[in-house]
Amino acid sequence: MTSELINALKMVADEKSMDINVLISTIEEAVLAVASKRFNRDNLQVVFNTAKGEFELYEELEVVDDVEYPLDQIALDKAISLDTSAVIGSTVKSRVIMEDLGRIAAQSVRQMIHKKGREAEVHKRFLNYKARIGEMITVKIAKRNDAGVVFELGEIEAIMPPSEQLATDKYERGRNMRVVIAEVSEGRREPRVTLSRANPALLQKLLEMESPELADGSVEIISMARDQSGRSKVAVRSRKKDIDPVGSLIGAQGVRIKPVMKELSGEKIDIFTWSDDPKKLIASALTPAKGLTVIVSEKRKFAEVIAPEDQLSLAIGKRGCNVKLAVQITHWDLDVMSRKEYEDKLARMSGQERRERDGAGGEPLSGEVRENRSAG
């Protein structure tokens, strides 16, 4: 029995990639819980005797002159017989015989095998899905609940919370959808997988499917921004002089971008060429608005954008969506206004404020950035 128990412990430790001492400690805790409940005591201890290959139960007793509580205390003369170094105030351990201790230990081992096996399987699935974060997959809608849309994902169910959904999508039971794995965390029974339709990674994967230049690296996406309302912006750059980065994503007569828009339920996608000049970059990011004047403050990474009256609503966008996306994709804070609003703003400034502003700004950029193109 001794060798059998030790061999079983070693087998479990090896199979579950556990330190055998950690496994033994876990079983000791499990046996102790049973013993403490049975004896209704909290001064017990379970120890695995490696020489005998068995679990042993001990009680910890305080050494005293006069014993008042036999379950917690022991007289000095008896304590010395257990431990010659015992003194008043110290504690000693005394063996407690529990006839079915071995059976309880064996049962704990079996339960541990089952528990660790289950945990190892869940952890393995967790690592598998974690390695796939950002991957585009096709999944079927199973149902909806308070947490969001539930999808069938192999042996588990994945969730798409409202924050990862598109307003333009119709989430109907049984429908197949392309999504990206956005987040993975460990759960008690299964890994928790969060899927997304609003994540920029999904748009990038779809664009790569349609654009060979993007897929092979001839064209690269520098920055992206998406909004759940069905708007997005993509800033691209070509690594080869003879390749039009914007055209490579849109295609002749929109042949490449249209399948992407269809997959994303008609999402409107603005694609423009990235520029290291912040004025050009900001003007491009605010497409479809035209004729913009951009005044930048490099120190504050802040820009004032003056839009013609007939372009102001386009620059700002519905519920501020266009300017919000421009801020996200450029990483600049923007203040978009009309010419009159700009002049009123200047009029309210003191002389010192105007000098500081002019010193931090620069020459304005006027006009349309012609290579900007908007899909949808």
CATH of domain 201-375: 3.30.300.20
The residue among 333, 324, 265, 337 whose CA lies nearest residue 302 is: 333
* More confident: 271 or 40: 271
Least confident of 89-93, 99-103, 180-184, 286-290: 99-103
Residue 223 has a pLDDT of: 97
Side chain identity at residue 170, one-letter code: K
Buried b (16+ CB within 10 A) or exposed e, 264-275: beebbbbbbbbb
Q: Does domain 2-117 have CATH number 3.30.1480.10?
A: yes
Handedness of CA 28, 30, 33, 34 (dihedral sign): negative
The residues spanned by each domain of the chain are 2-117, 136-198, 201-375
Tell whether the model's pLDDT for residue 359 goes beyond 80: no
Cα–Cα distance, 192 to 153 (Å, whole number): 11
* 151 has pLDDT over 90: yes
Give me the CATH code for the 136-198 domain, please.
Answer: 2.40.50.140
What percentage of the chain reaches a pLDDT higher than 70? Answer: 90
pLDDT of residue 148: 94
Residue 365 has pLDDT above 50, yes or no: no
Q: At residue 367, what are phi and psi to the nearest 5 degrees?
A: 105, 175
What is the mean predicted confidence (pLDDT) over 323-341? Answer: 95
- pLDDT in the model for residue 245: 96
Average pLDDT over the chain reads 87
pLDDT at residue 174 greater than cutoff 90: yes
pLDDT tens track for 37-67: 888 889 999 888 888 878 889 999 999 999 9
Give the pLDDT confidence score for residue 375 in this predicted structure.
57
Average pLDDT over residues 199-217: 95
**Tokens at residue 254, please?**
């929109």
Token pair recorded at residue 89: 């105030």
Q: In the structure, what pLDDT confidence band is assigned to residue 231 with cuts at 50, 70 and 90?
A: very high
The confidence score (pLDDT) of residue 104 equals 76
Q: What's the whole-number mean pLDDT along residues 243-249?
A: 95
Categorize the per-residue pLDDT at 261 as very low, low, confident or very high, splitting at 50, 70 and 90: very high
Res 370: pLDDT: 36
Write down the pTM of the prediction.
0.68
Which amino acid appears at position 171 of this protein?
Y
Tokens representing residue 118 in the block: 């289950």
Contact between 132 and 165 (Cβ < 8 Å): no
Residue 374 has pLDDT above 80, yes or no: no
pLDDT at 134 over 80: yes
Given a cut of 50, is residue 208 above it in pLDDT? yes
Average pLDDT over residues 276-296: 95
Q: 333 or 15: which carries more pLDDT confidence?
A: 333
Q: Is the pLDDT higher at 362 or at 191? A: 191
Res 235: pLDDT: 97
Please say if the pLDDT value at position 371 is more than 60. Answer: no
pLDDT number for residue 363: 45
Give the model's confidence band at 115: pLDDT under 50 very low, under 70 low, under 90 confident, else very high.
confident
**What per-residue confidence (pLDDT) applies to 156?**
87
More confident residue, 32 or 236: 236
For the stretch 66-88, pLDDT in tens is 999 999 999 999 999 999 999 99
Do 250 and 214 meet the contact criterion of CB atoms below 8 Å apart?
no
Per-residue pLDDT at 220: 96
Cis-peptide, bond into residue 278, ω within 30° of zero? no
What's the pLDDT score for residue 38? Answer: 85
Provide the pLDDT confidence category of residue 362 given band limits of 50, 70 and 90.
Answer: very low
pLDDT of residue 368: 38
